[in-house]
Amino acid sequence: MSVRRGVTALAVAAALLAGAGCAETSGRDGSGAYVDDSAITTMVKARLAEDKTVDADAIQVETANGNVVLSGVARTPLEKSTAESIAMKVRGVKTIQNNVALRP
């Protein structure tokens, strides 16, 4: 599982580097808003993948104007709150909406 997390983190980091240079900013409030949101999403996903207590594959991340929405499923309340805590520590995050459901 640790190799999988490492590969996931590497893929996310590569996507960040590739996407940051060619992101389109039309329709956003300020220049670079799309790049910033993309970078935030990528960083949150990478940090979730690095954490051994969170199943990063089961949690989706979306960002709009620095507002992060987490969705998907968690095994425990601790996993759900850890995902939120990890996301809040990412630079540029303004708010978190934690819509992660607990598995029955």
**pLDDT per position as a tens digit, 16-64:** 555 554 444 444 455 566 679 999 999 999 999 999 999 999 999 999 9
CA distance linking residue 59 with residue 82, whole number of Å: 12
* pLDDT for position 22: 45
Work out whether the CA dihedral 29, 12, 46, 96 comes out positive or negative: positive
Structural domain including 23 reads 2-102
pLDDT level of residue 85 (50, 70, 90 thresholds): very high
CA distance linking residue 84 with residue 67, whole number of Å: 12
* pLDDT for position 75: 97
Percentage of the chain modeled with pLDDT above 90:
65
CA distance linking residue 94 with residue 25, whole number of Å: 19
Number of structural domains the chain divides into: 1
Choose between 15 and 100: higher pLDDT: 100
CATH code for the domain in which residue 30 is found: 3.30.300
pTM of the model: 0.71
**H-assigned helices in 1-104:** 2-20, 33-50, 77-88
State the average pLDDT for the chain: 83
